[in-house]
């Protein structure tokens, strides 16, 4: 049924199976989905050897994630891998919501210019995974058909039992990232569970290949004439493939509903009797909004679907997972490289648990709006929709999915709270906004690309600060220029303003003026250094 040519990646026995004694690896990542691949590449690019184990020999089966957010693209761009994805993907930012056959609400996710990356691209998960697999650096030992079947840890290391076509072997690592998906073997092996809600509502996904002239927008219908009583989503993917998602209700039979004789009439009712299309993929799903209580368990870190699940409305699953590992990779690298102590790794929970709660909150609210559980809840939903057409206030209440936005680590122990006055710009914990800048030689660049993947200082119209950190200076002699004033506006820059930026491009601290000692204090805090070592043991990123 699928027009996608699934690659097959060969199984190869591991050195451990050939009788070689393998040293304890710094990091083993379990699961080569989008999340596991991203952290393996991030660590690998930082020069850390990684073993990446996957139980399969190809990319994601069938149709799953399609929408990748600007923040995800910025993370992948930090790894210098975003451009081919953006080129291949469908770039979109406008969503329309219809009730019956009339538009009730429209949103624009990136109404301003001056950002390198688009608000969203749509690209099939298998394309994303394939691109990431092809981009894994030499430092990543990617092993297909190596399935983790048992896992245990002591104070110093984690031991994994891995099953392959040639039998089992064991291997050890200092740290393990469990990116092994919703049915995580690791989670089960540790006897850990999820907390949250499971929804009964069933949805039908039909991906179809067709030439159609719908605009490149997200279209969502409540109670459309072609699918009375339910909702429907239409979204474009690469290669002339369209995602169509029908709400079926809690009583739908998952076996019969996926049969072509049930699916095709639904599609014809929607697309018209003359529409020509091929079915690419059909599946029925229900969903959950839940997470593990904590994501760090000793030397094992859960990331992506293994740690949390959300409903697809809002595209927060894969995007949230990639933000998990964006947060974790630099911390693991700092600990393994000796620039920080193991304490830094506790901040993964401090930062990603609230981020997950924000994703779950948004995704639960959307789900409750789309699938009201009681007559009263339905009455309010219908009241909102019926008012929305001529009462603008009600449009803000229409919720067909609040699309993934990056979390700001507001209460992070790694952040130094503001002591100077700012009226705008990203506060400590927030992700850095992008802006176009120009080099002394007139060459155009993007601010986020200049910030890079290590600690850096952003300094505005001032001399370099006395520190070994990389400095991105805007204005002043030898600095970048800010031709449209967008950097100055987005960061609330004034002469002397200085931001300390983390390796994941979130703000650690900012000042109206900073000297080397001030920056060093904030840097220690951002690396979770013990208080007593702050003044005595300066460690600089290199």
Partner 1 sequence: MVTLNLAPNIPDPDGFYERLIEAHRGLSDADSALLNARLILLLANQIGDRAILDAALEKAASLPIER
List residues near partner 1 by CB under 8 A: 375-376, 379-380, 382-384, 386-387, 391, 393-394, 397
Q: Residue 371: name its binding partner from partner 1, ligand FAD, none (Cβ under 5 to 8 Å by kind).
A: none
Q: Is 426 in the site for ligand FAD (CB under 6 A)?
A: no
Nearest CB to ligand FAD, comparing residues 34 and 503: 34
Nearest CB to partner 1, comparing residues 47 and 229: 229
What binding mask, one character per residue, do residues 297-336 give for ligand FAD by CB under 6 A, x or -? -------xx------x--x-xxx-x---------------
Q: Residue 179: name its binding partner from ligand FAD, partner 1, none (Cβ under 5 to 8 Å by kind).
A: ligand FAD
- What is the C-alpha separation between 163 and 146, in angstroms, rounded? 6
Instruction: Write down the least CB distance from residue 540 to ligand FAD, Å.
Output: 34
Instruction: Write down the least CB distance from residue 67 to ligand FAD, Å.
Output: 4
- What is the C-alpha separation between 108 and 184, in angstroms, rounded? 36
Q: Residue 391: name its binding partner from ligand FAD, partner 1, none (Cβ under 5 to 8 Å by kind).
A: partner 1
Instruction: Write down the least CB distance from residue 162 to partner 1, Å.
Output: 54
* Closest C-alpha to 3, from 126, 129, 135: 126
Query: What are the residues whose beta carbons fall under 8 Å from the beta carbon of 228, sequence distance 6 or more?
Result: none
What are the backbone angles phi and psi of residue 179, rounded to the nearest 5°? Answer: -110, 45
- What is the C-alpha separation between 369 and 100, in angstroms, rounded? 16
**Which residues partner with 160 through β-bridges?**
151, 171
Nearest CB to ligand FAD, comparing residues 187 and 506: 187
Instruction: Write down the least CB distance from residue 390 to partner 1, Å.
Output: 12
CA torsion sign for 290, 152, 39, 137 is negative
Q: Is 123 in the site for ligand FAD (CB under 6 A)?
A: no
Nearest CB to partner 1, comparing residues 80 and 378: 378
Sheet containing 120-122, strands listed edge to edge, beginning at the edge strand earlier in sequence: 67-69, 120-122, 90-92
Instruction: Write down the least CB distance from residue 304 to ligand FAD, Å.
Output: 2
Coil/strand/helix, residue 273: coil
Q: Residue 35: name its binding partner from ligand FAD, partner 1, none (Cβ under 5 to 8 Å by kind).
A: ligand FAD
Query: How many alpha carbons fall within 13 Å on the CB side of residue 114?
Result: 17
In total, the chain counts a number of residues equal to 542
DSSP symbol at 462: S
Nearest CB to partner 1, comparing residues 198 and 383: 383
Label residue 404 exposed, middle or buried (CB < 10 Å: 0-12, 13-18, 19+). buried
- What is the C-alpha separation between 249 and 379, in angstroms, rounded? 17
DSSP symbol at 532: G
Q: Residue 380: name its binding partner from ligand FAD, partner 1, none (Cβ under 5 to 8 Å by kind).
A: partner 1
Among 27, 28, 29, 36, binds ligand FAD (CB under 6 A): 36
> Which two three-digit tokens encode residue 222?
């409540």
Instruction: Write down the least CB distance from residue 285 to ligand FAD, Å.
Output: 5
Instruction: Write down the least CB distance from residue 224 to ligand FAD, Å.
Output: 20
Coil/strand/helix, residue 388: helix
Residue written as token pair 């789900």: 367
Instruction: Write down the least CB distance from residue 107 to partner 1, Å.
Output: 19
> Which two three-digit tokens encode residue 503?
């390796």
Q: Is 347 in the site for ligand FAD (CB under 6 A)?
A: no
Q: Residue 394: name its binding partner from ligand FAD, partner 1, none (Cβ under 5 to 8 Å by kind).
A: partner 1
Q: Is 406 in the site for ligand FAD (CB under 6 A)?
A: no
Coil/strand/helix, residue 154: coil
Nearest CB to partner 1, comparing residues 396 and 517: 396
Query: Which residues, numbered 126-165, are part of the site for ligand FAD (CB under 6 A)?
Result: 147-148
Coil/strand/helix, residue 85: helix
Among 28, 51, 67, 514, binds ligand FAD (CB under 6 A): 67
Instruction: Write down the least CB distance from residue 99 to partner 1, Å.
Output: 13
Q: Residue 305: name its binding partner from partner 1, ligand FAD, none (Cβ under 5 to 8 Å by kind).
A: ligand FAD
What are the backbone angles phi and psi of residue 537, rounded to the nearest 5°? Answer: -125, 75
Query: What are the residues whose beta carbons fall under 8 Å from the beta carbon of 191, sequence distance 6 or more?
Result: none
């Amino acid at each position: 049924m699928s027009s996608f040519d699934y690659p097959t990646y060969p199984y190869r026995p591991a050195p451990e199976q050939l009788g070689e004694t393998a040293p304890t690896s710094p990091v083993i990542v379990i699961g080569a989905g989008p999340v596991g691949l991203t952290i393996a590449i991030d660590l690998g690019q930082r020069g850390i050897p990684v073993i990446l184990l996957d139980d399969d020999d190809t990319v994601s089966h069938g149709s799953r994630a399609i929408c990748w957010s600007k923040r995800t693209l910025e993370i992948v761009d930090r790894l210098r891998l975003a451009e081919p994805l953006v080129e291949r993907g469908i770039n979109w930012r406008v969503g329309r919501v219809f009730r019956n056959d009339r538009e009730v609400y429209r949103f624009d996710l990136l109404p301003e210019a001056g950002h390198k990356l688009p608000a969203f691209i749509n690209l099939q998960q298998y394309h994303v995974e394939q691109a990431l697999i092809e981009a894994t650096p030499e430092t990543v030992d990617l092993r297909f058909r190596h399935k983790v079947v048992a896992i245990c840890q002591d104070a110093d290391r984690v031991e994994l039992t891995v099953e392959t076509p040639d039998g089992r072997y064991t291997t050890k690592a200092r740290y393990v990232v469990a990116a092994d998906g919703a049915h995580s073997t690791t989670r089960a092996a540790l006897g850990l569970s999820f907390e949250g809600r499971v929804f009964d509502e069933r949805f039908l996904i039909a991906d179809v290949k067709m030439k159609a002239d719908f605009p490149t927008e997200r279209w969502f219908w409540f109670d459309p004439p072609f699918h009375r009583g339910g909702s429907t989503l239409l979204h474009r993917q690469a290669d002339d493939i369209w995602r169509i998602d029908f709400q079926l209700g809690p009583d739908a039979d998952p076996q019969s509903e996926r049969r072509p004789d049930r699916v095709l009439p639904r599609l014809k009712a929607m697309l018209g009797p003359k529409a020509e299309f091929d079915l690419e993929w059909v599946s029925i799903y229900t969903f959950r909004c839940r997470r593990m209580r904590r994501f760090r368990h000793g030397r094992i870190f859960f990331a992506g679907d293994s740690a949390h699940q959300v409903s697809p409305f809002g595209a927060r699953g894969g995007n949230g997972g990639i933000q998990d590992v964006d947060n974790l990779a630099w911390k693991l690298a700092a600990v393994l490289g000796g620039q920080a102590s193991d304490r830094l790794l506790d901040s993964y929970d401090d930062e990603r648990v609230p981020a997950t709660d924000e994703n779950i909150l948004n995704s639960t609210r959307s789900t409750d709006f789309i699938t009201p559980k009681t007559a009263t809840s339905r009455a309010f939903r219908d009241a909102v929709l019926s008012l929305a057409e001529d009462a603008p206030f009600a449009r803000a209440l229409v919720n067909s999915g609040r699309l993934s936005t990056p979390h700001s680590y507001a209460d992070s122990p790694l952040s130094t709270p503001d002591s100077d006055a700012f009226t705008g710009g990203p506060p400590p914990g927030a992700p850095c906004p992008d802006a176009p800048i120009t080099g002394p030689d007139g060459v155009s660049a993007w601010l986020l690309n200049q910030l890079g993947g290590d600690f850096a200082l952003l300094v505005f119209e001032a001399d370099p600060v006395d520190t070994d950190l990389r400095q991105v200076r805007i204005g002043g002699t030898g600095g970048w220029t800010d031709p449209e004033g967008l950097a100055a506006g987005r960061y609330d820059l004034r002469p002397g303003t200085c931001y300390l930026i983390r390796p994941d491009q979130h703000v650690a601290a900012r000042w109206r003026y900073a000297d080397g000692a001030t920056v060093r204090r904030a840097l220690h805090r951002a690396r979770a250094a013990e208080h007593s070592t702050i003044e005595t043991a300066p460690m600089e990123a290199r």
